[in-house]
Structure 1
Amino acid sequence: MSTSTSARSGTRYRGGRRAQAAVLCCGLLLSAPAVATAATPAAAHAQAQYEERGRGTLVSSEKLYTLATPQAVAAELGAAGFQDDTVRHGVVAYRLVYRTVDAHGRPITASGLFVLPLNSPGRLQAVSFAHGTGSHKDDSPSMQRAKFVSAPVIAHAAAGAAAVAPDYLGMGKGPGLHPWMDIDSETTASLDMLRAARAFAPRTGHALKREVMVTGFSQGASAALGLGRALEAGADRWFRLGALAPVSGAYDFGGIELSALLEGRLEPKSSVLYAAYTLVAFNRLHHIYDSPREVFRAPYDSTVEALFDGAHTGEQLMRGTPGTVDELLTEHGRELLTHPTGPLAKALRATDAVCTDWAPRAPVRLYMSTGDEQAVTENTEHCQAALLRNGVDAPVVDLGEVDYHGSRHLGSNVAATSSIVRWFGGLRQQ
């Protein structure tokens, strides 16, 4: 199903042109923390050498499919429920596996989708797309075709860009578990995927330009902001941020979003899954509870953690969790999310800093959908206000009451894709 004409024509902007104010700057964490073995100068030097020389190194490439004509691309996008109004090229899609670092700074591999336009040789501008939350390793761009997570990547390539989409750590062909909503590792995985794409592109007769257009949806909206922040801080010697277009993010995850979840303002089942994933994923990195029974009620205390192992599907998560947050959480579990303290509070502050601790110099637009049932729109208002305090007047693009399989949240990704493709394309022509 594609977005209706009335929804597209109802798209409206809030905010204005980017303020011509002095750019504020602050210290940024541009890579994951050093591992425990990096305590000596020699070990620290070895780790720095790995990050300089190893990160982004291409491990393998695999051609996945070719859509030889614009008509074939249009059919692919239509099968996923996306519009085809920006298609100008056929495309060829590859899966890249590359070296990066995990959430603790240790060497690991990850995968991603790289899609190129056909009959468009030479230097191309890269577009980095960060996808939304998935539970199974296959819920990632390089593992699916004609699906929700791969369609935006194909759409950008079909408009003439080199489209790059990290699967994230622990997703796709990456080993281990996915560190959900961990901005640092989402940033390193995204940046190193760009580096791998740049290394691979000459094999196809292409080269990537310096400026990168960055976008992402839902979880990927925060990941996109993290990547944009790193690029503007000079995290890579080649790539620079060209423009930034996050969609329907939970930018104040530890405040606005968790409050909405616990107050029943989100769709009930989404609230259950996000509450469970928050506790499980953050505990794996930050040790916020000793035993699942502290935060999850029986019988879920013995089953919920295993559901988020990357091998269970969304349908299995739906069947394996209760219908309400009150059935899932103990009093302590609810209190932990209501008033985070200690390691969880610290981790959430890092997650929520994507809009507050920097001032993008590149153009920014924030996309959202009225009545979003998963990421309440106050998140976008919060992000816009935070950027404005730092001197950046980022317009909000209200996509209206869009729908995708009964979800306005998912609908925002569909509606935003064509809009962002056109905006990025216009900027490329300037």
Structure 2
Amino acid sequence: MRFLRYTTILGLVLVVGASSAAAAVAQPARGEDDGRGDVVAVQPLRGLDAEAVRNTLAEAQFGTGDVRFGVDTYQVLYRTIDARRQATVASGLLVLPRSGERQLRVVSYAHGTELNRTDAPSMWRDGWAVAPALTYASAGFAAVAPDYLGMGLGPGPHPFLNVTTEASASLDLLRAARTVAAGQRRVLRREVYVTGFSQGGSAATALGGTLERGADDWFRLGALAPVAGAFDVRGVELPALIGGTVAPPYNVGYTAYLVVAWNRLHGLYQRPEEFFAAPYAAKVERLYDGVHTGEDLVATLPGTPEELFTPHGLAVLREPSGAFAAALAEHDASCDGIRAPARLLVDRADEQVPVANSDYCAARLRSAAVVDVGTHPYDGSAHLGSNITGTTAALAWFRQLG
């Protein structure tokens, strides 16, 4: 999760390249539940030779030792469904290696938490957002990175930590990517290596389970390697956020994000004043509209949950019940029963997502190990650094699986 980048976007940017403007408004009629994975529009982004890939990865502080090929990158707008199974569109990043291989192994990477929709992978505002996909593609894989609903070019607010839509948006991007790759005379192989970081950890396990249950006629789960995922929100992550284990501003930032997003889906409150204390009740919902930034969040929210939430709100967070408890149970079941080979990649010094999350997930997978990838702080954060070391470790393992 890296929502605290101090961006200066004042309005909503929906365009990467001039021709994306038309794509951003090409939405299907509501109520349709077919055509999932159909390509609405494709925007070529950057073509990079191997040296340019190394430079981009180095700027993002990612490793450059596995770069073998240049890459071509595409922003893909495609049809998918929202949390109520109504038709919508979403965007994502496709990166193809300049390897000369026609048949490509596939890696799906799910990104960590972002606030501003322009920080999603396909928008390519900086090297961090695209570095994992570049890493996998420059090593010879076809890499896909979904933006998620409500991020990138997708309409509406983002349903944060909603594993159902993270899985459907990820699966439908794979379908769309297969079509785009075919237009480049490339074939995406059936087995998908699935990974993701932080928020993307449980998005990855949700996609993995979806693939393993045969949701698609072509793609199958090959292996699973999520990094620093918050798999047990009820039992581990929420207590850490509201109990003092996670420091400000992440404690209040993530918890408020969850409450606001899940209220839209599950009706946790009728008025913000029920859950949020004054003066924050009048301000907090608009922070999570896809337009605001981490800088806005830091300037607006207090440092502790006790200041941000009402006694009622804190009580609900400490002892979830009803629709909230049911939604948590759905999220926290994303690891259940997956049989494919799995490695859960962690940094045991992680200050935002306790490793107990991955221990919980490993106990529910059929074949998994929790692997410590070591500490490599990024911007002073071991959690963020695990995206770097975890990507390196996942790539090494995927290459071994061959």
User: TM-score normalised to the size of structure 2?
Assistant: 0.91
* CA distance in structure 1 between the aligned counterparts of 2:401 and 2:100, rounded to whole angstroms: 18
Does 2:48 align with 1:67?
yes
Q: Deviations over 1:219-249 (max 9, x none)?
A: 0000000000010000000000111000001
Amino acid at match of 2:345: Y
Superposition pairs for residues 256-405 of structure 1, below 5 Å?
256-355=236-335, 357-360=336-339, 362-387=340-365, 392-405=366-379
Aligned length: 373
Does 2:172 align with 1:192?
yes
Q: Report the identity percentage.
A: 50
SS of the counterpart of 2:90?
strand
Question: How much does 1:120 deviate?
Answer: 2.4
**Residue in 1 aligned with 2:16?**
none
Please identify, of 400-409 and 104-113, the stretch whose mean Cα deviation from structure 2 is larger: 400-409
**What 5-or-longer segments of structure 2 have no aligned partner?**
1-29
**Residue in 2 aligned with 1:20?**
none
SS of the counterpart of 2:156?
coil
Asked which structure has the greater CA Rg, the reply is: 1
Q: Deviations over 1:59-86 (max 9, x none)?
A: 0001110102x11110010111111011
Q: Deviations over 1:44-73 (max 9, x none)?
A: xx97xx54x5000000001110102x1111
Q: Deviations over 1:254-307 (max 9, x none)?
A: 221101111100122100101111110110000011111111111100000001
Q: Which has the higher contact order (CA 8 A, sep 6+)?
A: 1
* CA distance in structure 1 between the aligned counterparts of 2:350 and 2:299, rounded to whole angstroms: 23
- The counterpart of 1:167, out of the listed 147, 160, 165, is 147
Instruction: List structure 1 runs of 4+ shifted beyond 3 angstroms.
Output: none
Please, what is the CA RMSD of the aligned residues? 1.3
Superposition pairs for residues 208-219 of structure 1, below 5 Å?
208-219=188-199
Question: Residues 118 and 125 of structure 2 are in contact (CA less than 8 Å); yes or no, is this contact kept in structure 1?
Answer: no
Does 2:80 align with 1:100?
yes
**What 5-or-longer segments of structure 1 have no aligned partner?**
1-45
**Residue in 1 aligned with 2:156?**
176
Q: Deviations over 1:110-132 (max 9, x none)?
A: 00000000132301011100000
User: TM-score normalised to the size of structure 1?
Assistant: 0.85
Question: Residues 208 and 338 of structure 2 are in contact (CA less than 8 Å); yes or no, is this contact kept in structure 1?
Answer: no
- The counterpart of 1:141, out of the listed 121, 140, 162, is 121
- The counterpart of 2:223, out of the listed 234, 243, 258, is 243
Question: How much does 1:384 deviate?
Answer: 1.4
SS of the counterpart of 2:263?
helix
Question: How much does 1:145 deviate?
Answer: 4.7
SS of the counterpart of 2:143?
strand
**Residue in 1 aligned with 2:100?**
120
SS of the counterpart of 1:66?
strand
* CA distance in structure 2 between the aligned counterparts of 1:230 and 1:174, rounded to whole angstroms: 22
Question: How much does 1:320 deviate?
Answer: 1.4
Question: Residues 67 and 92 of structure 1 are in contact (CA less than 8 Å); yes or no, is this contact kept in structure 2?
Answer: yes
Does 2:200 align with 1:220?
yes
**Residue in 2 aligned with 1:56?**
37
Question: How much does 1:147 deviate?
Answer: 2.4
SS of the counterpart of 1:127?
strand
SS of the counterpart of 2:290?
coil
Question: Residues 132 and 149 of structure 1 are in contact (CA less than 8 Å); yes or no, is this contact kept in structure 2?
Answer: no
Question: Residues 243 and 364 of structure 1 are in contact (CA less than 8 Å); yes or no, is this contact kept in structure 2?
Answer: yes
SS of the counterpart of 1:237?
coil
